[in-house]
Structure 1
Amino acid sequence: MRLRDEVLGKVCRSCKDTVRGLLTNPPASTPFRIDSQAPMSYNVTASSHAQYCPLRNPPMQMSIVIPALNEGSNLRLLLPRLHRVVSALGTEGYETIVVDGGSTDDTAEVASSLDARIIVQQEPGYGGALKAGFRMANGKYILTLDADLSHDPDFIQPMWEARQEAEVIVASRYVPKGSAQMPFVRKVLSIILNRSFTKGLSLPLHDISSGFRLYRSSTVKNMPIESSDFDVLEEILIRCYAQGWRIKEIPFQYLPRQRGDSHISLLRFGLAYLRTFRRMWELRNSVLCADYDDRAFESRIPPQRYWQRERHRIVTEFAASAGSCLDIGCGSSRILASLEQVVGVDILLRKLRWSRKYGKPLVNASIFDLPFSDATFDCVISSEVIEHIPASDKPFLEMRRVLKDDGRLILGTPDYGRLSWRIIEGLYHRLIPGGYADEHMTQYKKEELVRSMEEFGFLLLDARYVLGSEMILLFRQADTA
């Protein structure tokens, strides 16, 4: 008892309950831990607790990553301003990381003398610098900015204040009230570059080449970045968008470089941008992109646009006035937006991140193991899901389990019994590589599917088709009483 009181006397008030429980019922083989990074023995000391207490030593909030190549004179001005601005934010902890790309001036010495951590990048180019900085960053947020004073440190405050509104905050030159002080030719080329990417890839953004950004670290940690030059900025932002992360642009006044020479080579970087555009075009038009379903609703390809809208019309008509609905494999479909009482389920987090904008409850789960009680929903929707999973009774049993007696089941899938679908799927493979047709693994025919559903206790009420190929079936679950 005396040992216990002695130990409790050496920890802060907020940790007492945790420590008291561990001392009363100690784990069999692991030492007491204040957090997962700090193993401590039961012989706790005041000094060791002060070192590891999560309240006295909160997690680092911000990592500032600055790529630099012969920027010693600029860093001498930038870093003191950074420290002043970030300290005034009231963050619980931050670090400054200068990624040195092989400077021959005093970049490293200046950075070290001004409390920055120096990392010597191993991979070439601006992209290599960002990747190195991301890997070494410890903060919950990662701020990136240039070393040449073109990014005003005072602008960090409005970026920080906006961090709850999106996972990526971009200081944008090309939104209303934004501006860029740069040579005329360079500004024209910058505008052309941004519009080519945003219009060509259907991105609702304006400035995807700005390097002044605040990321939630989870958006870029472990991101498979391929670009090595300044085109990395486009790749990172497009990959964030494809993962369903929210991106917010706030107007920013870009300033001219204060000292030194720019490291941009138009010819070399122009070729890099073309290669990146091609890779990002493939990503944007594949099912890997979080907004694939939503974007198809407004597709520039008339058959694709019609298909999405006709499917939406039939499903929402079948679900009208049904009561509580469960949309399994909801993706980023606008069905969620059109129904009042609906819960969306999807196994892919990127799809759910995108669908947050609909303001409906979302659950990350599998159709093989739905996390809902029996007889919870009046209507269950499974549109374009069952052909993407291995043939099994379990998904149908799960749908029946969570559906109330006499509830509706809306089941949509291609009808492989129809020649029209087999022709369309062949064209789909060729014209839209990376689309959903590439993921079909189980084929259903209407007659066979209806017989199976009858065995599961469902009665067919209606059957509609999209272009005579995709069947959307409305079932009613028979009363099991």
Structure 2
Amino acid sequence: MNASEIAVIIPCRNEAGSISDVLARVPDGVQSIVVDNGSDDDTAAAARAAGATVVYEPEPGYGSAVGAGVAAARRPVVCTIDGDGSMDPQELLMLVAELDRGADLAVGRRRPDHPRTWPLHARAGSAVVAAYLRRRYRLPIHDIGPMRAIRRDTLNGLNVGDRQSGYPVELLLRAGQHGLRVVERDVRYTVRTAGESKVSGSIRGSARAARDFLVVLR
């Protein structure tokens, strides 16, 4: 698949310290769409200076930000990755290649390079939900991560509606319900390059994300 067919959506809230480096590592030819989800720092200015398309989404929530990015994308394949520098945008090409091989959705399984990269309280909710989706829908997944690739028309057909942290869970849930072929590949996961995590950086943030996961599964 040609890079000119791919857009990467990067939801951000106060990621001015890391977004420039993330954008510098996006593969050549891939369109970068940074969704500023209520930042009060220079995230948008830094992203624009680095050549990204900047979209503003005032409604807080991961799902809101991704939805705004998908609406702005005009390329047939859309990817997502966080803007904190914890994952390498170059690995998106590995996921896109799985679409060429017949996958409907390719997702990254985070492989931390150090114990402090992904605290136990942060990974627990993801592991439990992934186990449920494996049992219920036979999806070959072990993580509910932020790096993924899917054709835009396929994504729009799933009608994912969650506006908060439950978005990735609902995406996988609907993929299972529709019988889509889901492929998981390992991706490197490192300590964020700047700022503080809104989810895994605290027990409270992880608990809030777990709550959103469970709401989707009801």
Write the distance in 2 (CA, Å) between the matches of 1:185 and 1:208.
Answer: 14
* Equivalent in the alignment of 2:105: 168
**1:274 offset after TM fit, Å?**
1.8
* Equivalent in the alignment of 1:227: 162
Task: Please tell me whether the aligned partners of residues 137 and 176 of structure 2 are also in contact (alpha carbons under 8 angstroms).
Answer: no
Q: Does 1:156 align with 2:88?
A: no
Q: Aligned to 2:40, what secondary structure does the other structure show?
A: coil
Give ranges in structure 2 of 5+ residues lacking alignment. 200-204
* Equivalent in the alignment of 2:202: none
Q: Does 1:66 align with 2:10?
A: yes
Q: Does 1:194 align with 2:134?
A: no
Q: Aligned AA for 1:215? A: I
Identify the match of residue 33 of structure 2 among 97, 101, 114: 97
Query: How is 1:3-402 mapped onto 2 (pairs within 5 angstroms)?
Result: 60-82=4-26, 86-87=27-28, 93-165=29-101, 166-173=103-110, 178-179=111-112, 181-199=117-135, 201-221=136-156, 223-264=158-199, 265-278=205-218
Give ranges in structure 1 of 5+ residues lacking alignment. 1-57, 88-92, 279-481
Task: Please tell me whether the aligned partners of residues 60 and 140 of structure 1 are also in contact (alpha carbons under 8 angstroms).
Answer: no
**1:59 offset after TM fit, Å?**
10
Task: Please tell me whether the aligned partners of residues 17 and 193 of structure 2 are also in contact (alpha carbons under 8 angstroms).
Answer: no
Task: Please tell me whether the aligned partners of residues 92 and 148 of structure 2 are also in contact (alpha carbons under 8 angstroms).
Answer: no
Write the distance in 1 (CA, Å) between the matches of 2:192 and 2:43.
Answer: 16
Write the distance in 1 (CA, Å) between the matches of 2:182 and 2:3.
Answer: 24
Identity of aligned residues (%): 26
Write the distance in 2 (CA, Å) between the matches of 1:77 and 1:207.
Answer: 28
Q: Aligned to 1:274, what secondary structure does the other structure show?
A: helix
TM-score, length-scaled by structure 2: 0.86
* Equivalent in the alignment of 1:378: none
Q: Aligned AA for 1:121? A: E
**1:60 offset after TM fit, Å?**
4.4
Write the distance in 2 (CA, Å) between the matches of 1:222 and 1:129.
Answer: 18
Based on CA coordinates, which of the two structures has the bigger radius of gyration?
A: 1
Write the distance in 2 (CA, Å) between the matches of 1:110 and 1:222.
Answer: 33
Write the distance in 1 (CA, Å) between the matches of 2:159 and 2:92.
Answer: 27
Q: Which has the higher contact order (CA 8 A, sep 6+)?
A: 2
**1:208 offset after TM fit, Å?**
4.8
Deviation by residue 1:4-52 (Cα, 9 ceiling, x = unmatched) = xxxxxxxxxxxxxxxxxxxxxxxxxxxxxxxxxxxxxxxxxxxxxxxxx
CA RMSD of aligned residues (A): 2.2
Q: How many residues are aligned here?
A: 208
Task: Please tell me whether the aligned partners of residues 127 and 144 of structure 2 are also in contact (alpha carbons under 8 angstroms).
Answer: no
Write the distance in 1 (CA, Å) between the matches of 2:131 and 2:41.
Answer: 37
Task: Please tell me whether the aligned partners of residues 166 and 215 of structure 2 are also in contact (alpha carbons under 8 angstroms).
Answer: no
**1:221 offset after TM fit, Å?**
2.1
